[in-house]
Chains A and B, each alone.
Chain A
């Protein structure tokens, strides 16, 4: 039932608005709204019950295991939320002067410094509001760098075929042509193809390492050399930073610019699809182009640096300073972990991934890159299973929902057929992983014994398989009073 169907004309929630309706002065009749908007007319209890019930229809980390590759679904500590929601932090207006926000700015400055250290970069700007915006900023800085040198010939960005869809989409938003290069048998970028692709038109290369195939690009040092020698810059998509935290720094691998998904590695909540936050780190030569504002600490005082101090900046991406509350949560999480905790994040994420990979292999699942170590994630391919039983990766994913697990990432990366990209994250225990393997074993048996049952999965969720085709062909995007 929709909230609108609970609505009754004239029902009001009296404690949540002024007792009397103030007189509208000064506004001409032609600018005034003639009818009230279609908002629900419900009691406070109606609304509380309705949205509490809706919440109960969701899977979440607080209720389920999410082996969701490339998404780093780790536990979101509750204290990060409660401290970021202290009344003083919530009430602070973004345009209030800096001296009214020294406590907040101290957290932001320290976060910048910590992220510089962790990534091995020379500068960090916290402003991008999501991974895709971080990518946009990164590529825009690459473009600004080339143009500042008077080099307008560089019109191409190289992207491996295994990359996230945001990489090519971002390159296009920055006015670049995308050159895709293939992946070799072992999951590394095809070096011959890279050599053939670089040249005077190369503005840069966008790379995730460990890659979306769950393996570390062993040739990264050579790749870096090839791209730099051609005059291009290296962009690091930080989606998989969790795998190497405290082990390798992207700056040491030769990357010139990086974005960090705080909602992955630094445990800020996914919130059902945002808000994210994606600070960017830059090497020395990109410092003049960083997006503003950036926090500085001078003579014992924190203050914002803006276009005045960074005149070549690529500019602003948001009305204020980005997703401040998300940045606070990440800062709190990092201070809880400390240096030792950060090392352990990568170690235990990697331990969990390799253990799960081996156990699933023993259970009869085919691993896409069996000769490689898993980073913090790995790929299972169900190509054979599909040929034998007709059961697809999607069927297995949906059946997992019945067993109380969120599905792994499916059909990504697109170059591995019938794939499940699995990332357990460090916060899951061995017992949870074992139980997951047991469920996967059951599903494998079901695939052979009852393939038709699997194809109809899920069976126990609040709704069964939904008709996507109908949704797209006859779009019903808003509720209408008559419907």
Chain B
């Protein structure tokens, strides 16, 4: 009887108080025809037994030298991040509706909002979304809500291919049209000229990835200005780690992007097969009442003491029901706890150095790869910490060979962009040292020989 503390005596006293003979009597309002107690679940395990099983399974999966990025990035996570995050007071607490009993979580979220607003250069941030992809979908919905006349979103094909699918899955039932914009085959980013066919049309928003899925940097100033001159909002979808180096969305073009979203995983969240991560969303002050999800505000208590509360709740489902800005209620609170502690531990200079080292490692890796015959960077545009590379032989076979040597060599880019042929997307973050890069290149040399 795991996690049930009742003694036989407790049970009999409780049943007597209720006036029932057996626990089964308590289910007497359920029509007998519906009762079905059959379960195929195996008998329960002790903690020792489940530990053994899970250790075996973890060992089956092993550890690899990883060069895959594509939206989820391996960065060093300070030990303190998860030791504090998994303290019971954070780990097992509820959504902070009871503000007086949740000041720890609420203050932390206010600090998080401050950090994210500054990192993105925006006025306000919400307290998180599910992940980067769903945050982009919510940004598209938000743009349509605030635009009023248009239900059309322009989406460059340099945006993460899965993000594009997620956006479509989430917005399609609301009659929103997502138009894809092709990229420049030579430079690997979106050209303002490719937006020309849509100039003067009614458009709710232009999505601008930075860096884009190829790791290439987009001409964000020109794209943002194009959106604004066409009465559309500019939505930046950004890597928060890159923002330690790059111009934040709030400073793009002459007036800045309107909404910034992205995947928060690089900020202290482990890769863990894809989740839980967290999405972030920040925007200009003028859009604050359109933003979905939780927002924390600073206020005072009866004695004038500073405190924190969930605020602007008139946007939310538990108040507005069918008229809410979104159905979202839970966000990714614990992940944000980790990210906030991560950003505090590394600080502004630390984050900049981690980003710079990731940038330098990727460039060093690509330069060494390019010494091999038939291996070449595909695009000429500037890059952050990821690069698209063409290979002389089929990508899958190369990936398989390197995997057998314990190396995850990157993502097969041709799966998402068939026009690129034998292409690989590689990433070397600050976690890689010179010997790792040499090992990668040496095994790649052998695989191509």
Contact = CB atoms under 8 A, between A and B. Distances in A.
Interface in B53-84: 53-64, 66, 68, 70-72, 74, 76, 78, 80, 82, 84
Interface residues of B, number: 200
Interface centre among A57, A170, A291, A319 (most CB of B within 10 A): A319
A478 B3 contact: no
Nearest to B299: A471
Given A47-B345, A103-B61, A81 B86 contact: yes
Interface centre among A54, A107, A427 (most CB of B within 10 A): A54
Contacts of B37: 246-247, 343
Interface in B314-331: 314, 316-324, 326-331
A135 interface: yes
Top 4 A-B residue pairs of the complex, sorted by shortest distance between their CB atoms: A320-B274, A338-B44, A62-B88, A271-B334
Contact of B363 (A26, A132, A173, A359): A26
A358 B113 contact: no
Contacts of A26: 359, 363, 382-383
B347 to A, nearest CB: 5
B34 A41 contact: no
A62 B127 CA distance: 24
Interface string B149-172: 000000000001011011011100
Contact of A355 (B14, B276, B295, B343): B14
B276 A479 contact: no
A319 to B, nearest CB: 4
B348 interface: yes
B101 A461 contact: yes
Contacts of B231: none
Contacts of A30: 221, 247
B40 interface: yes
Nearest to B59: A88
B170 A136 contact: yes
Nearest to B240: A37
B91 A21 contact: no
B126 to A, nearest CB: 9
Contacts of B354: 17-18
A129 B68 contact: no
Contacts of A228: none
Contacts of A326: 275-276
Contact of A59 (B30, B53, B98, B359): B98
B353 interface: yes
A251 B349 CA distance: 55
Contacts of A335: 42, 44-45, 50, 53
Contact of B312 (A76, A270, A472): A472
A324 B245 contact: no
A348 B36 CA distance: 18
A95 B156 CA distance: 22
Given A37-B244, A169-B322, A337-B2, A221 B94 contact: no
A307 B1 CA distance: 41
B180 interface: no
A200 interface: no
Nearest to A82: B51
Nearest to A460: B100
A325 B335 CA distance: 11
Interface stretch (B5-13, B190-198, B199-207, B440-448): B5-13
A248 interface: yes
A458 B60 CA distance: 52
A30 B201 CA distance: 29
Interface residues of A, number: 196
Contacts of B17: 355, 358-359
B173 interface: yes
B84 A166 contact: no
A174 B175 CA distance: 10
Contacts of B275: 94, 129, 275, 318, 320-326
B432 to A, nearest CB: 12
A247 to B, nearest CB: 6
Contacts of A397: 98
A427 B2 CA distance: 9
Which secondary structure dominates chain A's binding surface?
loop
Contacts of A37: 115, 118-119, 243-244, 248, 348, 351
A275 B276 contact: yes
Contacts of B271: 90-94
A18 B110 CA distance: 29
Contact of B276 (A32, A323, A468): A323
B34 A220 contact: yes
A91 B245 contact: no
B99 A71 contact: no
A318 B382 contact: no
B347 A40 contact: yes
Interface stretch (A309-317, A385-393, A441-449): A309-317
B382 A169 contact: no
Contacts of A482: none
B184 interface: no
26 contacts: A21-B352, A25-B363, A37-B351, A42-B344, A44-B80, A57-B107, A64-B101, A77-B2, A77-B3, A86-B58, A88-B62, A91-B64, A94-B273, A100-B403, A168-B317, A275-B330, A319-B131, A325-B273, A336-B2, A338-B42, A340-B1, A343-B39, A348-B6, A373-B29, A429-B5, A479-B111
A12 B26 contact: no
A478 B124 contact: yes
B256 interface: no
Nearest to B53: A335
B90 A58 contact: yes
A140 B169 contact: yes
A300 interface: no
Nearest to A268: B276
Contacts of B170: 136, 173, 317
A140 B173 contact: yes
Given A92-B271, A93-B66, A166-B329, A317 B166 contact: yes
Contact of A18 (B30, B92, B430): B430
